[in-house]
Amino acid sequence: MPELKAEKLQPTILHRFQQVIAHHELAHAYLLVGPDGAGKQELAQWLTLMLFCRHVTDGRPDLTCPECQRVLSGNHPDVVVAKAEGRQIKVDQVRHLKAEFTKSGMEGQRKVFIIEDADKLTTGAANSLLKFIEEPGPGIYIFMLSNNKNAVLPTIQSRTQIVEMQPLSPDSLAQQLTTAGVPQELQPIVTGLTDSVTEAQSWMQDDWLKQVVANIVRWFKETATGNLESFVDIQESFVPLVSGHDREATCLDLMSLIWRDALVIASHADGRLYYQHYQSTLQAALRQLSVDQVLAASHIALTSRKLLDQNISFQNVAEQETLRILKETAHL
């Protein structure tokens, strides 16, 4: 039997659901919470298969019966999925959903609603759903998905059973990042910044992350060895590459991470390195510095990042950061 992705991504939670289903204790409304790639969609699909499959054996759907086939192909008439269009799920979309709620299952006794991005329900849309979530009626199940529990309206949270996905095992995260096109040397760096595979994937476009990391490794070598080129580098290499608040913040985070790694190396502390594939480069650049100097520089990198949120331009923040680090390393 083929292994379902949900079994691989969230084995513990899936096992718990198997027991809940075996005891006929499945609740009618769940809020599945976890980062992209953690398996929320896959789990919702697995639960749907379990509800419709005609031959559940040993707590698993057979995946081959006509019901399973229709769920897997996304063509089951009694499975309705709502997604955000743009940034919100609006009342109009919910109106359609509500109309579906009130019809009883078209063919069988069951009906499943999957609401992706439950945090994107507008207050109006959420309010109009509350009654249905509270008393969905027999045979109706609602699975709501969200990356961020706290962004889901409290009225929704309080009416659902909340299930938080477990962090991915390093192996399955690595596997997903590889599938998303993140090269091996960048994977540990990516995991220092995000647990979202989708976000990591967006940084791969036009080789953005690759170029920024190459720049940062060079900038690090220069700042650590007191080379004033590092200051010029900000305007010449970084500014053309980094635009928009998200990327600016990511770039400063990456600068902060490399100096954090430097501190781990300089102080011989235990700790996994984000820039582990560049370890020898980092080591060589740090040779002339004392632990105190590295500590000061890593503190500067960490605190500079926060300045971006105070409406200071990226170029300003990065240049000031560079100058302050150079003051430590080159005794300017």
Please provide the DSSP assignment of 148-172 as one string. -GGGS-HHHHTTSEEEEPPPPPHHH
Least CB distance to Zn ion at residue 74 (A): 15
Whether 180 contacts 199, CB under 8 Å: no
Least CB distance to Zn ion at residue 49 (A): 7
Least CB distance to Zn ion at residue 65 (A): 3
Of the candidate spans 48-56, 89-97, 103-111, 273-281, the one that interacts with Zn ion by CB under 5 A turns out to be 48-56
Least CB distance to Zn ion at residue 53 (A): 3
**Which of 111/305 has CB closer to Zn ion?**
111
Least CB distance to Zn ion at residue 62 (A): 4
Secondary structure class of 138 (helix, strand, coil)? coil
Subset of residues 299 to 328 that bind Zn ion, contact rule: CB under 5 A = none
d(CA 296, CA 302): 10
Please provide the DSSP assignment of 81-102 as one string. EE--BTTBB-HHHHHHHHHHHH
Question: How many chain residues bind Zn ion (CB under 5 A)?
Answer: 5
Of the candidate spans 47-55, 100-108, 196-204, 249-257, the one that interacts with Zn ion by CB under 5 A turns out to be 47-55
Tokens of 160: 């659902």
Least CB distance to Zn ion at residue 79 (A): 13
Of the candidate spans 51-59, 84-92, 161-169, 305-313, the one that interacts with Zn ion by CB under 5 A turns out to be 51-59
Should residue 204 be labelled a site residue for Zn ion when binding is judged by CB under 5 A? no
**Which of 51/273 has CB closer to Zn ion?**
51
Of the candidate spans 6-14, 26-34, 57-65, 189-197, the one that interacts with Zn ion by CB under 5 A turns out to be 57-65
Subset of residues 86 to 125 that bind Zn ion, contact rule: CB under 5 A = none
Secondary structure class of 230 (helix, strand, coil)? helix
Subset of residues 63 to 82 that bind Zn ion, contact rule: CB under 5 A = 65, 68
Secondary structure class of 183 (helix, strand, coil)? coil
Strand ranges inside the chain, DSSP E: 29-33, 79-82, 111-115, 140-146, 161-164
d(CA 219, CA 75): 52
Question: CB under 8 Å to 69, separation ≥6 — which residues?
Answer: none
The footprint of Zn ion (CB under 5 A) covers 53, 61-62, 65, 68
